[in-house]
Amino acid sequence: MQPLRSDALRSRKRILDAARRHDQGALRHNELAKEAGVGVGTVYRHFPTTHSLIEALTQDTLERLLAACETGAARDDPWEGVMDLVDTGLVLLLEDRGLQEVLLSHHDDAPEVRSVKESIAASTQTVISRAHKAGVLRADITAERLQYLMCGLEHALRAAPLDDHGALRDVLVAGIRPSQGSA
């Protein structure tokens, strides 16, 4: 892929800036074009699908999630590594409504998104494997299952009063620990 010309970079930035002011569930190429001051063809050229636009909006958050996964994988204490994933992952899911869609998508439009997701998966697997080996994580909790649990908890946290967030998180954490009888 060729680097973008400076005018194309400016157009892309204006489109992304306009998109950030909208709910990600209501992104419309025509509206973004008008708001960004570009033609609708320019929007489609940069972002052929709404999903590709959401990927671009989520790129920075994906990088932050990768950093948290790598931090968790480098922890001396495997349980602290799991908690890095859970706590940072939940914060990022709540901050960036597009993160869940991008994480759970089996189709990535942008190669850089695919690459970051692969790195996230590898680091997460390291954290999970270390936690299993240490006996601090239920044996049936896989990286994919943890991701689904966290995405489900995101929905619960959005619906729940702020006072309930800690209790709901604690239920997830207790649920992924091995039971006393199996430890």
pLDDT for 23: 82
Give every residue of the chain whose pLDDT is below 50, as ranges. Answer: 183
Q: Are residues 76 and 124 in the same domain?
A: yes
Report residue 64 as tokens: 């932050």
Q: Are residues 78 and 145 in the same domain?
A: yes
Q: Is residue 150 part of a domain?
A: yes
pLDDT for 2: 56
Q: Are residues 79 and 139 in the same domain?
A: yes
Distance CA 47, CA 79 (A): 40
pLDDT for 94: 94
pLDDT for 183: 46
pLDDT for 111: 85
pLDDT for 9: 83
Q: How many domains does the chain have?
A: 2
Domain around 3: 1-48
Q: Is residue 26 part of a domain?
A: yes
